[in-house]
Structure 1
Amino acid sequence: MTVLTGTPLAGRVAVITGASSGIGAATALRLAGLGAKVAVMARRKDRLDDLVATVQAAGGTAIALPVDVTGRESVNDAAAEVAERLGTADLVVNNAGVQLISPITDLRQDDWQRQIDLNITGVMNVIGAFLPHLTAAAGSGRPADLITTSSIAATRILEKFSVYSGTKAYISHLTRLLRVELGPKNIRVATIEPGMVDTELPSHVTDPDASALMEGLLTEIDPLRSADVAETVAFIAAAPRHVNLTEITILPTAQAV
């Protein structure tokens, strides 16, 4: 992949959810470095404030929006604040998510619900709040991107991943369906399906055996870094307006499944 240089995203307004760490934080830094104004969303205000300070210290523009994306009204309020402070968002990175793998027979129903709430409902809340922004941007002739973070778990059959994989399969297929409706409106819809990424996500796993499995994978192979995925997001967004890179799977070279 060509590494982007200069400011190909100058003039664009980007919203990144799940931006307090990992892929979201790296994506915010990368998009800001390429000239976009960024609004970073997550629950942890202290981390967002640190991220905004880093962007600003480098000469970029960023605002922090401490929001739980599972709350529809909070996300709608955040969309209004983006419009007021930065302008119409034309690049939405729908990245917030959680991974809580365990055997289905453990009946960890609270974990099931948390994944559904964040990985599905949260994604839909962000789409509902920011689709009017994207529609307006595309209608005025600007690029408009809706990019969602899925996972290779959307298509791989992985033991103990049932609910998590189901939420990611929803995202990947939703992306295909949205493209049918939004592509003719010149809104690009894309999903990224990463393999093993060295982020804090595995630390969310509550099942001891599953946690050991994830930690083992991280030590057995050279995993992706958050910056690798961020570069992929930037590449999608910087493509010419008539080019939609619809589904990208990104794996560590040594990852077999």
Structure 2
Amino acid sequence: MTYDLTNRTAVVTGAASGIGAEIALVLARSGARVALLARRTERLTALADRIVAEGGQGFAVTADVTKDLSDAVRAVHDTYGRVDLVVNNAGVMLANPIAAGRTDEWSRMIDTNISGVLNVIDAFSGDLIEAAGSGPSDLVNISSVGAHLTFPNFAVYTATKAAVTHLSANLRAELGPLDVRVTNVEPGFTESELAEHIGNAAIRDAVDGWFDGVGRLTSAEVADVVGYATSRAKHVNLRQIMVLPTRQV
């Protein structure tokens, strides 16, 4: 599906693969100029080339959301100008029993899934507030159904996503009166690279079993939700969207 995002300027983090890459494609096919942010330069460049080959506008910005984003912001502004659509998609999912004490994994998830989201918001909130004065302005945070449900061995991951969901609700209270729409998207089981991050083989097998039992969404299906939400009339804010395979409860 494509939507009308003509003359919009978007930033998508975690755009090197999975949901982020598909979001970038949907936005570009819908007429937006899309800055692709992630750490993997080759993947980003290939995606930007694909967007351009399809007649869209996209360019790669190698950046780590857990670090200073000044250079990335400068590159986006120099290329496309002010941003009016930001998708906070970068994230990592690691899993182990809490008793395993994997503080390295905890830190990585907190740094990427929470601090990274905040860094991106800090980098582009000024753009979004300014853009809202003349047209639609969107902040989309990709959270997870895990923000509400219990999954053994995923305590820290789901806690980080609960933080994103609660952050989104509070941001809407602050930014909504300034005409910036805040949308929190919570996918259920989705085909992406996230499960590949899990180093514990037994837990990875359990995840495969969950997928086999109820099915999973494609990344493109989640991306379609983002395209739909951000293409609504300026005064319409789809605040929170939970998108699941039909059999997932």
Q: Report TM bin, short chain.
A: over 0.9
- Conserved in 1, the CA contact under 8 Å of 2:15 and 2:37? yes
2:197 to 204, 212, 216: 204
Hey, what's the Cα distance between the residues in 1 that align with 2:120 and 2:19? Answer: 17
Q: What displacement does 1:255 show?
A: 1.4
Matched letter for residue 118 of structure 1: T
Paired position in structure 2 for 1:76 = 70
Paired position in structure 2 for 1:100 = 94
CA offsets 1:165-213 (integer angstroms, 9 cap, x no match): 1100000000000111100000001110000001111010122221111
Paired position in structure 1 for 2:150 = 157
**What SS does structure 2 have at the residue aligned with 1:40?**
strand
Pairwise mapping of residues 1-257 of structure 1 onto structure 2 (< 5 A)?
Answer: 3-5=1-3, 8-71=4-67, 73=68, 75-139=69-133, 141-256=134-249
Q: Which runs of 4 or more aligned residues in structure 1 lie more than 6 Å from their structure 2 counterparts after TM superposition?
A: none
Which residues of structure 2 form unaligned runs of 5+? none
**What SS does structure 2 have at the residue aligned with 1:160?**
coil
**What SS does structure 2 have at the residue aligned with 1:125?**
helix
Q: What displacement does 1:44 show?
A: 0.4
Q: How many residues align?
A: 249
The percent identity for this pair of structures is: 45
Hey, what's the Cα distance between the residues in 1 that align with 2:227 and 2:157? Answer: 26
CA offsets 1:63-93 (integer angstroms, 9 cap, x no match): 100101100x2x2221121111011110000
| Superposition TM-score, scaled by structure 1 size | 0.95
**What SS does structure 2 have at the residue aligned with 1:119?**
helix
Matched letter for residue 129 of structure 1: A
| Superposition TM-score, scaled by structure 2 size | 0.98
Q: What displacement does 1:218 show?
A: 2.3
Which residues of structure 1 form unaligned runs of 5+? none
Hey, what's the Cα distance between the residues in 2 that align with 1:106 and 1:54? Answer: 42
**What SS does structure 2 have at the residue aligned with 1:63?**
strand
Hey, what's the Cα distance between the residues in 2 that align with 1:92 and 1:252? Answer: 26
CA RMSD of aligned residues (A): 0.9
Hey, what's the Cα distance between the residues in 1 that align with 2:17 and 2:126? Answer: 27
- Conserved in 1, the CA contact under 8 Å of 2:2 and 2:29? no
Hey, what's the Cα distance between the residues in 2 that align with 1:58 and 1:233? Answer: 20
Hey, what's the Cα distance between the residues in 2 that align with 1:45 and 1:219? Answer: 33
- Conserved in 1, the CA contact under 8 Å of 2:27 and 2:34? yes
Matched letter for residue 240 of structure 1: A
Hey, what's the Cα distance between the residues in 1 that align with 2:47 and 2:131? Answer: 26
